[in-house]
Every structure is written in C-alpha cells, then in structure tokens.
Structure 1
Amino acid sequence: MKELYFESIYAFDRTDEPVFVGIPFKKGELFDEKKIAVKNEKGEQKPSFSRALSTWEDGSVKWLFTDFLADIPALKSAKYFLAIEEEPQTIKGIVSDEKVTDTGKITLDFTKGELFEINGSDVTLSPMCFSDKDNGKYSFTKKSVQTEQYSPLKETRLIKGVFTAKERNVEAEIRVTCYWQKSYFDIGITIINTDTLPLRIESFSLVLKKPFDGKMRQNVAHSNYRTIYTSSEGEAIENLIDANYLLFESNESNPEVFYGTFFGDMTNEKGGVCATVYQAQQNYPKAVSIEAGVMNIDLMPGNVEDITLFMGMAKEHIVRIYLHKGLSPETLSNESTLFQLPDRPAVDPSVFKESGVFSPLIFTDEYFPKAERYFAGMADGHTRSYGVVSWGDSPDMGYTQQGRGGG
C-alpha cells in the first residue's frame, strides 16, 4: 500500500471532500487501474476512481491519477492508503448524458440558457456581460458542449462559444466542473484573442439572480488574516480589489499558493447562493456587488484598470458557485477558503524513488548547504507581479542581462 498524508490545515471538519493525487508505480506492479482502492486508517474504503496517465513498456501503469473522497478532521492530520485489490472496484457517482449532469445534489441542463440552467433552483445565471472600448457590448453564442473529462466523482464539460460585437468575434471556452454529492460547481471562463488587433477590455462579469421579496441576507467578504464582511438586507453593497487596495494591505502568506479569499452571498428563507472568485487578489481587479437579489461578479470591473489582451493572449477566470440551505457567513467563509487552498495529500519520497520513474541521481541523503542557500535565494529574490494579465510574470534581470543584448 502507498500512504497518502494530509497535514493539519483547517480548524473545521471536511467530510467527503473531493481530493486527488498523482502517484507513480514500479514497472509490472499494476496492470489494471480499476483494482485500486483508497482506504482510511481504519481500513474503511472510500469512494475513488483511478485512471492511468502513462504506462511502462510492458503495459503496466507508470503514472496513476486518483480522485477520491476524504474525511479530514479539524486541527488534525489524516492518512489514507492506496491498495491494489483482487477485483475491480465499482462505485456509484455522477449521472450524465448529452443534456444534463446530475451530481445527486444539483442538476445542470446544458441544453438551456446561455450556458446552462440549474434545474429545480430559484437561482438563475443571467447572460454574461462583456464589452470592450472599441466595439461596445458583446453577445455570446454557444457553439458546442462536450464532456472533456468524466469520472463518477467529478465531471468537466467544455462549452465553446464566441462573443460578437459589430464585426469582431472573440472566442471563449467555458469549463464547468461538477462534483459527486456536492451542491457546488466551478465555472472556468477563458477569453481568447485570436485577432491581430488588441482587445481593450472595458468590463466582463457574471450575473446571478435570486428572487427578492423585500428582505434578504446579503454579504460580500474578503480575507487576509481574517474575514471581513460587508452586509445588508437588500441595499447595494460592493467589494472591490484594485491596485490601491493591494498597495496598502500587507500579506505574509505565499501568494503563489494562497493569499486570502473573496466572495459574495445572497440568502433568503429558501436557501442561498455563494460565489467565490479564485485568486481574486493575485488577479486584480476584481469586484463583487449585490443589490436586491442580483449579484454581479466582476471578473474585469469597468473603469478600474486598463486591461488589454494582444493577439494570442488568453485569460482564464474561475468562480465556484455554491447553492446552500442557509449556511452562516462563517461557514461560507470556510468553504470559500477551502476552494482557494484545497486539501492535497503528500506522497512519501520513497514511493518516487522505488518506482524508478526518476533518475536515482535526484535522491540522496547528503545535504548540500551551499546549493540549498542558492535555491532559497533564487526563490526569495524572484519578483512577483500581480494583476489580471500579469500574475506570475515579471522581468528577471539576472536572465534579461545575459546574452547578446546585454539587457
């Protein structure tokens, strides 16, 4: 068996949390990935689904990808184990066909609406609002829907379409990921500029609506060291992250992994809907505003920053939509934070060494202080740019000044 270790991160329980792991196997060790089972420390089997990513010359599995559901207690670590069973494993899971995806908690119908409709819910996803500074407002046309990836525990649908304004077309890909027995789903929207002309974006937003009867609990929130809420019962509220906001906020987290969270929620007596923007601070500007049961998720807010996509550039924005039965703002903050920094199992280095997938030269018990200091210095000295088209990019002067150009 191969051990999977979850470190203690959060002060709240996670039950049947969707997690995944990629793990190597020795040549000849595993020939049928369907025989993989995931068990907890008590030996109890958890729902899982595995698929081979690559194989050895003899057809055995070289790299395995496994989705499974984990129970991780508050303020405690947890261990799980990958075992090879005698017989193939089968599980119940997401029911899907050409039209709908049914997770057991929610059903999305991809034949209806601009993108899809949520069956049996009073929450509606309004048409996307997209405009640029040269052509004004665009309309979206859905061209195709296909299942990009399916497992009983997780399904991703790929919607391809085009935004049109005047004589200009802007391609878009929307990935919708659903999870077994979960009432949330993720929307990843990628805008692609395939034109030779720059795309000078004015604004881009998703809009969620929920019936308003004169009173509704509304919250917009963001976190750094703690979650800060702005609340109302129907009046307009807004939360904006821009350059000025970030300039005067200190953050001691590692932004490549986690900065904080950013979400909005509307809740009435029939339930609520919460929307969390992934890595909003790193990919500023971002905004969430709510008024009288209408939530605008501004992925590129208007009149805040100049945002230009040149030919060949693409940008993805990811939002988690969570339908709930009146959860408290504090619980929603926990769920939102978990989306930003999900649980990921660690695999012991010996598994990689024994599998033979890497050169043995990278495994050594000898410590090289000079090399470690050098690598730490490289990491600490690397500049970090924030921004919707700049996140992760910055000039590396040590590299730029090399070569014929000399900088």
Structure 2
Amino acid sequence: MAELANKRIVLGLTGGIACYKVAEFLRRAQDEGVTVDVVMTDAATRFITPVTMQALSGRPVFLDTWDNRVPNNMAHINLTRGADAIVVAPASTDFLAKLAHGMADDLLSTLCLAKGLCPLLVAPAMNREMWLHPATQRNVALLKSDGVTLLGPAEGDQACGETGSGRMLEPLELLEELIAFFQPKRLAGKRIVVTAGPTSEDIDPVRVITNRSSGKMGYAIARAAREAGADVVLISGPTALPPPFGMPCIAVRSARQMHTAVMNEVQAADIFISVAAVADWHVANASTHKLKKQAGQAPALEFAPNPDILAEVAAMPNGPWCVGFAAETDKLREHAQAKRQRKGVPLLVGNLAQMAMDADDTALVLFDDKGEESLPAQPKLQAARQLVQAIAARLPRADAP
C-alpha cells in the first residue's frame, strides 16, 4: 500500500550540504505515491543541481520568482494551491529567520508566506552552534507558535567535523515523519508504554530459553501510537529490528528486567500496551558457567514463575488503561476472553500464533466487554493503526462520571 498515494507536496531546498539527503528522500517519497514539485533557492543550487532534482521528480524545478513558464507568472501562488503540504529540507538558519520574520525575497520564502492553509513542515540543518544560538531558538519558537511543524533536527556527526544537535534527519526518517503528519492525531497528549519482542531466560551464560516473537507487531504499534500524536516509550526484548525512530527504546532481556522497566515507566502513563511475548517462567537453577554435555543425561532444570506484568499494571490504583495480547494456537476466542478476565484488562487483542510469528501480516481480533471485533488480514503497520484508532475510541472520556 502506497502511504502517500494521491498526495502532492512542494519540496523546498535551501543552501546546505544536507541537500544530498533530499535526493534520496524524494525518491523514497515517490515510492509511496506522492507527487513532488521542487523549489530551490540559489544557495541550494550550489550543493545539488536542478537537473538532478528534475530527473528524480519528473517535473520542472522552480528557481525564480519571475518564471514565465507559469502562465500568470505567479508560481508563488500557483504551486501551493491544491498542495497537501510544503516541506522545506534542508531548512538553513537563514531561511528559518526569514520565515519567522515574514521576509519574502525569493520564490521559496514568498510561497511559504502565500501558502494559505497549506501546512508547512521544515527540517532544520545546520552546525550545532548555529542551532543552539539564542536567535535561532527564538525563531524556532516563533515558527512553532505560527503553526509550523519542525521535523528534527537530530544529533550526530556534522559535515563540519563537530558533533551535536542540528543535523538534518535521514531520508527515511524524514519520510516517516511526513507519513506520520497525515495520520489522525487521536492520541495527542497521551503517554503510552508499549512492550515488544520476546524475553530471554538464561540456562547458563551461553544458553537461553526464549520464543519466536519477532517484535514486529509491538514495534508497529509503537510507531502507530506515535503517528497518532502520543508520547511513546518502547520497552523491547531482544529482536533483530532497528530501534524505532522518534521515541526512547529501553532494551531488556529477561522477563524480570522487563518487569522492572515497565514498573518504572507506567507510573506516569495513560495507556499500557503489553505486546511482548513474556516468558511465564525463568530457570531458578541457572548455571554461572557453561553446562557440559554428558552422554545420555540432560540437565535438571528447575523453573520459577516470572512476574505477571500485565496483571500487575492492570491492578494498579489509578493505573494506565491496559491492552493485552494473546497469541494462541487454537480456541482463540475461548482462551483470549479467559485471559482478558484473568488479567483484568478492558481490551485484549488475539491472534493465531502460527499465522503471526515472523510474518509481516496479521489478522487481529479485539475482545472487550461488548464482545469481539475481527480486523482483516493486513500488514502489521496497517493493523497497528487500526488498533490504535480502536483504542482511542474505547478510552474513557475525561468528562465521564
């Protein structure tokens, strides 16, 4: 599914070495179905050529306010009419100052003032000292108060050889932010803790007991919750997935480590979504050295129960609204409803483990006091977005008695 199908954006480039990243961003955005009109400042053309951007976009590139290719010579008006967003990347220190103070001395700054209701998103890119300068921070505060959306900046190595804030987001991060911008913000202002992945219980220093959870569903739910406007903390067991963008990710191994992390984070949470496949037991007599194989003999392992994280959070006085998960191999409805009652949670999400493990698609069934609701089989991110909207619809209203 193309995430940006039927969308059109105006992509503005200002002067900065990060222009090279925008070529990749443009290409990846087009893969998601978006149509892109490119506008470049004179300074931007010193870093990447208009020919490159025209070849990538397949559309004319606009450089000059006085462009007679436009029938009425009003590119600053025509380009934004019907556009779904203006994205300025990279946005230089100078350009942020122009925007903040209403200056319009080139095509890009002029169309940003003449944009009407078209949303404006800017991705700052500059040296760390320039980003942290009080004048830049004042300009950023003004832009935010004017309704401009900031994408980043990130921290990291900079072209000048220094390290710090001010680095432009990477192309795929920019794309993820653009996709998120168009998602409904039904969880705005909520703080959500999500657990994901398997847990791993030591037998000895080199052997563990774990499960086949890939973490894909939990990571997708964390992303979908962030897209919906929530402040998200992800607590993850061991997975092969890269850390998700735009949220803290707390890495844990064992169920007991996950329990500690969850209890630390849920104190201030509005919603707790327990997606992780948490081990029910740990090895009570785990060895401190590698167990040696002995012919015809297996080690005698003793098991002890792990904390029931979901039930404990659900029982907290004034605790967060809780969502549980159940991956079953059979009798999904019976087992899921029984688990929901046992854990004491208002919503439990069930699926069949043999369909979901390691897969990119899933079919979820939602169980609550009113019964059940089946969602169609679909990619996990799409399922996660549907689940997040279902959660938003079920949350108790603040004004309810």
**TM-score where L is the length of structure 2:** 0.26
Which structure's relative contact order is higher, taking Cα pairs within 8 Å and 6+ residues apart?
1
Structure number with greater Rg is: 2
Q: Identify the structure with the greater helix proportion.
A: 2
Q: Identify the structure with the greater strand proportion.
A: 1
**TM-score where L is the length of structure 1:** 0.26
